[in-house]
């Protein structure tokens, strides 16, 4: 497979497949394709279907295969931002925020990732269930707004506001930190808790999570009677 990511901040990834190659994607992610791309919707078993439901994704994945020769298929992001390609392999798993997965090669497995500490899931802003990409192949993940990367050494941490963690290496750990001071928590506008990610590993942060964008636009939207 060959691919190119074009058009930021309204990006699309255009994939050129050899005959017989397959890509899987979320429902509605396909933007355009050549006529020889055959679609097949699969659930991947009850366990994987329930896991995708918990992580905020659709129950089924669409599989597109190039039949009779090379084929082209494009996947578009849902919001302004960026698309990144990850080389998934043994020991190089990625944990991503729900709804971040866009598409992947057939050798990549999309599973649920339960945060080990219940408090991190309930109050950390990233949700109790995230997504884990493992296996072998290329996976495409979409980020909201600008994507900033950091490489954390063992024991090094980053404090992140609710929702701004987009993805991290599976070697990283996640926890929550209470905003110090009652006045800071109640009137500081940052909420009661922050997310704390600790290395070793790489982290990806996005600058405009969809909930923050929706909240910023709400006052300007017309009120329906």
Is this structure's pTM higher than 0.85?
no
Q: Where are the domains of the chain?
A: 2-219
Tokens 């910023």 identify what position? 216
* Cβ pair 151, 205 in contact under 8 A: no
Least-confidence region, from 143-147, 174-178, 179-183, 210-214: 179-183
pLDDT value of residue 215: 83
Q: Topology of 2-219 in CATH?
A: Double-stranded beta-helix (3.60.160)
pLDDT value of residue 193: 77
pLDDT of 61 higher than 70: yes
pLDDT value of residue 120: 43
Question: Model confidence at 28, in pLDDT bands (50, 70, 90)?
Answer: confident
pLDDT value of residue 119: 47
- Stronger pLDDT, 51 or 206, i.e. the higher one: 206
Please compute the mean of the pLDDT values over residues 144-164 and round it to a whole number.
94
Please compute the mean of the pLDDT values over residues 198-208 and round it to a whole number.
96
Taking only the tens place, the pLDDT of each residue in 188-198 is 445 567 889 99
Q: Is the dihedral of CA 122, 52, 86, 15 positive or negative?
A: negative
pLDDT of 217 higher than 80: yes
pLDDT value of residue 187: 44
pLDDT value of residue 68: 96
Taking only the tens place, the pLDDT of each residue in 73-123 is 999 998 899 999 999 999 999 999 878 899 999 999 988 887 655 444 444
pLDDT value of residue 11: 96
- Stronger pLDDT, 36 or 26, i.e. the higher one: 36
pLDDT value of residue 16: 98
Tokens 């296996």 identify what position? 135
pLDDT value of residue 138: 98
Rank 53-62, 189-198, 216-225 by mean pLDDT and report only the highest: 216-225
């Amino acid at each position: 497979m060959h691919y190119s990511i074009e058009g930021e901040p309204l990006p699309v990834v255009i994939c050129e497949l050899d005959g017989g190659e397959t890509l899987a994607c979320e429902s509605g992610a396909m933007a355009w394709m050549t006529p020889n791309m055959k679609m097949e919707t699969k659930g991947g078993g009850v366990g994987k279907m329930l896991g995708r439901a918990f992580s905020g994704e659709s129950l089924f994945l669409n599989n597109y295969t190039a039949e009779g020769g090379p084929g082209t298929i494009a996947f578009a992001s849902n919001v302004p931002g960026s698309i990144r390609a990850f080389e998934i392999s043994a020991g190089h798993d990625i944990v991503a925020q729900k709804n971040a997965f866009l598409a992947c090669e057939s050798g990549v497995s999309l599973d649920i990732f339960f945060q080990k500490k219940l408090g991190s899931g309930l109050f950390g802003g990233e949700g109790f269930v995230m997504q884990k990409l493992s296996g072998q192949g290329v996976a495409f993940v979409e980020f909201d707004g600008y994507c900033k990367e950091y490489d954390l050494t063992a024991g090094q941490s980053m404090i992140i506001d609710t929702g701004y963690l987009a993805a991290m290496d599976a070697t990283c750990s996640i926890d929550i930190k209470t905003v110090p001071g009652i006045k800071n928590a109640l009137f500081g506008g940052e909420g009661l808790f922050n997310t704390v990610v600790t290395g070793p590993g790489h982290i990806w942060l996005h600058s405009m999570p969809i909930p923050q964008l929706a909240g910023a636009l709400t006052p300007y939207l017309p009120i329906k009677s």
